[in-house]
Chains A and B, each alone.
Chain A
């Protein structure tokens, strides 16, 4: 045990009497002195918790007070709390992400492009094989990079239809008909990665209903990227003609890149060219 561990033990009620700590304190005068100095303060915290061992009856008044207060709590205050919770989640998520070194920062983009090229080639190969073998089957989704990074376990089961069903269940149905994505037949995991719920803009109301038309554009854009390319094998040509995506973003990376840099502007996210090739997509969603 070193001095750092000793401090951990000293301040941990469960380990304060441990043998290892006692041994360390015998050999380390500095820590022994620290223990002596801190002992009165530490003893203050050895009080039983106020809220423990309280029977329900004796606590009823407090519970009632809380319930009354909660029922009176303005929706705005609750909305702020939810926003705060979402904001905390994003901060912790960012903090949990592995930090890259300088070397990694320099090499990662190159590796990303290389990986994307390999994946793209594999996807193209699978596309032609799949078309020949199963022309009428439901289109299988390519895992977009957004899903790949956040839902590593689910990506192999990714299915465009279930993804879209999740979007529709949450956003497109009229409020009265809105239902949890799982009940609507959508893959439940996609409802948790819904792009609307993941937006990092604290100013935006995460839970406000979206205008159906606005959301529909997003969904159609998803289809344009993920479904058309599977079914028609045209996308690379189209993408070249738009000159927006192909040169810098490998196919699997473009959604992610646009989401991150988008802000709130849907039109900036999904340019008109992309939206323009959605005739077939519309039939998929609406039909």
Chain B
């Protein structure tokens, strides 16, 4: 059965009525974006996978609480962002030594990187650029960084960001604007120091 033309709300209502297998279609629509957000926020691809999986499981288990009055996308983003924060708090209490495990010889194990059809050099540059972005995002306040991730990784509209972050529309825009300005400023400082790749 093709569900390409069926919107999220319709799919979710059908899931509520017992067509549980349709939830896979919903998950497929959001998986990559959620993963990108979570990986950026948590700095760990495997943990991001866990959290995204948990997000979908929680949404499915709590499917009866979904209401067609609000967007499924907003709901699933809200769940993810809260689970990421919870994961953050857990790690703050119990630093995870396995995040980037050291090898027996003392060197740092490479992060798991998916394969790409890129040349070695472009891959390296992209990797460094990503790393720089994540470092800069980490320096921002949580709300600014999350707003930026939702906007650029999640592709959310500002009203969706506002609902997900439980703030006003103008507040969502302000967070993105001030976040971008702060990023640009830090980027300028990095350029002056010459530590930009």
Contact = CB atoms under 8 A, between A and B. Distances in A.
A86 B62 CA distance: 6
A45 B180 CA distance: 10
A279 B56 CA distance: 45
A58 B115 contact: yes
Contact of A82 (B61, B86, B114): B61
Interface footprint category on A: 35 or more
A286 interface: no
Given A78-B54, A97-B69, A50 B114 contact: yes
B181 interface: yes
A92 B163 contact: yes
Contacts of A42: 180
Secondary structure call for the A interface: helix
Interface string A179-211: 010100000110111100110000000110000
Given A38-B181, A92-B75, A53 B152 contact: no
Given A69-B46, A78-B54, A85 B67 contact: no
Contacts, number: 169
B64 A61 contact: no
A8 B83 CA distance: 28
Interface in A39-53: 39-42, 44-45, 47-53
The 8 closest A-B pairs by CB, nearest first: A66-B49, A89-B65, A81-B58, A85-B62, A58-B115, A41-B183, A54-B114, A85-B58
Interface of A: 4, 7-8, 11, 13, 37-42, 44-45, 47-55, 58-59, 61-63, 65-66, 69-70, 73, 77-78, 80-86, 88-93, 95-97, 150, 180, 182, 188-189, 191-194, 197-198, 206-207
Given A42-B180, A49-B32, A70-B57, 15 more contacts: A7-B173, A7-B177, A41-B180, A41-B187, A47-B126, A61-B112, A62-B112, A66-B50, A69-B50, A85-B79, A88-B75, A90-B65, A96-B67, A192-B64, A198-B64
